[in-house]
Structure 1
C-alpha cells in the first residue's frame, strides 16, 4: 500500500489523469479531480501529503483550493500548476501558501522531482515535530522524575536517620523505664520509611512498565478469571487503605469470565480507583459498577471529584499527564497510570475511555468475555513493538 498520497486538481481531465498516471508509477496514491469544489470536499474528509492544483479552474479559483489546504492541513505541501508564465502567477501561488509552482505543460522529470521534494520536505517537517515532542517529553520527564523520585527517597533517608537516633537512645536507656517507648517510636519511624520505599518502588515499576509497553516486551500470563470476583477484592483492598473515601460496588453480573492476566487487570482497576481518590480531594464516594453487555463486560469507576474538561478527556491518557485544574492541588506520581492502564486494556482486546459532565468523572472499561474452554498461557504483547 502506498505510504504517500497526492491530490491532483485540474479542470482538463486529460491533464489530471496524465499526472495521476505519472505519479502512480513512482508508487504514490493519487486522487485526481476536475473541479475545485470536489477538491475542497475531499480535503474536508482526508489529508494528503501533496496537493497539485491548477491556478485557474472553471468553478473555483485554485487559490481557494490552496486556502482550504492551509485551513484543514497546513503541513500539506501544495504545488500550483499554471499555464501563465507571469511573475504575478508565481507570487499569487506562493502568497497562498504554495510550496512551489510548475508551468503547464510540465516536464515529466521536473514534475516528479518537484513532487518528491515536496514529500521529502513534509516528511522532514513531520519528523521534526516528532523529535520536538520527544524532546519536550524528555524535559518534562526529567523535571517530574527528579522531583517525584527524590521526594520519597529524601523521606526514606530522613526517617532512617531519625530511627537510628531513637535506637541509639533506646540502647543507652536499656533498663530504664522509657527505653521501650524509644524502641517503639523507632519502629514506627521505620514503618514510615518502608511506606516511602514502597512509593518509590511503585514509581520505578511504572517507568519500567512504560518502557516494556513501548518496546512490546510485556509478558502476560493469561487465564480465565472471574472479573466480578477480582473487582470485589480490589475494592475491599482499597477500602482498608483509604479512610477518607467510601467505596460502593454494584454487581449487575453474577460472573464475568475474561481471559486475562490477573495481576495486570488488577493493576488497571487499582489505578482507576486510586485516581478517583486523588482527584476527589473533598472525599466522597467512589462507585464501581460491573455489568455484562453482549459479548463484553463493562466496568465503570465513578468519582464525585473535580471533573475533567471536554478537551482533556482524551489527553488524560497521555504520558506524564497532570491535571492543570488548580482544585486538584499537588497530586503525586509521574502521570503514567492512565497511559499504562489503557495500554494494558488494549492488549486485552478491550477499550478504556473517560466521561465527565464538568463535575465528577467516570472511567469506562470494556473487556471481551471469555469464549467457552479458553486456554491459559503466557502471551507476549500482541501489539509487538508498535511504539518507538
Structure 2
C-alpha cells in the first residue's frame, strides 16, 4: 500500500459518517494500513488475514462494507466473495486485486461487488471508493425502506378498498331492498286507493247516465261529471307517482308500445282538459288528420296531461293554450304545448326538469309538487325523444317534444 503524504495530511478534513467495515487480506501490512486510514475517517474497522475468520465474523456481526482480497491462501477469492454476498447481501463489497488479476476483478463485479481497487492504491482512491459505496448502500437502504413503506401502503389501500367494496355492496343490497319495499308499498297503496276511486267514478258515471236531463237535474249532472273527472285524475296521479318512484331510482319504465295516433291523443287530451275549465281556450293545431307512431299511449297521455295542466294552471283567465302536432322529414313527430301565461324566469329554465323544482315566480302561489316535468322528461327520453322549453316572463311558455316515428307513417 502506497500512502502519499499530501493526501494523508488532508485526512482529518474529510468527514464521513461512521460505518462498520470488515477488511480481509492475507497481507497483514495491507489490512493494518487500510484499517488505519478508514479509522481516521471515524469508521469502526475490523481487520483479518483469514477468509474463514471473515466468514465467522459476518455470521455473527453486521458490516456496512467489506473489503476483501481476491487472492487468499485459505479460500478462492471468488468463492469468498460469493459467500460474503450470500450471508450479507446488503453490505457493500469492494475487492482488492493486483495488476495480474484484473480479469478476476471484473468477474467479481459480475458476482455482486460494488467496485474494485488495484493494489497498491492511494488513500484518496480508497476513501472515495468506500465513501461512494457507503452512500450507495445508504440510498439503496432508503429505497428499500420506501418500497417497503409503499408496499405496506398498497396493502393497506387494498384492504381498505376491499372493506369499502364490501360496505358498498352491503349498502347497495340494503338500498335495493328498500327500493323493492318502496315499490311494493307504492303499488299496494296505488291499488288500494284506486279501487274506491274506480267505484266512485263508476257510480258517478252510472248516476249521470241514468239522470234525466232536466233543468232540475242539470246541477246534479254537472256535479257527477266533476266527480267522475276528478276520480279519473286522482287515479292517473297515483299511476304517475308509481312511475315517478321508478324513474327517481334510475329504473326504466316498462313501456307498453303500440300504434298510437298522436293527433287523436292530442285531441282527446285537449277535450278532457277543456271540459274541466271554462277560464281558458284550448285547441289543437295540425295539418295532419292522423300521425301514427309506435309509442306507449298511456305514458304519452300523461306527458300531454302534465304539459296541458301546467299551461292551464299558469295562464290567466281567458288565456289560450295551443297543442300542435306535426311531422318532420327526418322521421320525427313534433308535439308542442304553448301558452301565453306567466312564463318561466330565465334563471329557472336550466332547472325546470329537476324533481320538486318550480319556477320562482309561482312558488307558493300556484299549487303543485313540481314532479311532473321531471317525469315528462324521463318518459320522453325513454321513447328516445327530446324535450325543449322556451319561455319569457310575461309572454308565455312553449314545450317542444320530438319523438322518433319508428317506421310509422304520417297521412
| Bigger radius of gyration | 2
TM-score range, shorter chain: 0.3 to 0.5
The TM-score normalised by the length of structure 2 is 0.44
The TM-score normalised by the length of structure 1 is 0.46
Structure with more relative contact order (C-alpha pairs < 8 Å, separation 6 or more): 1
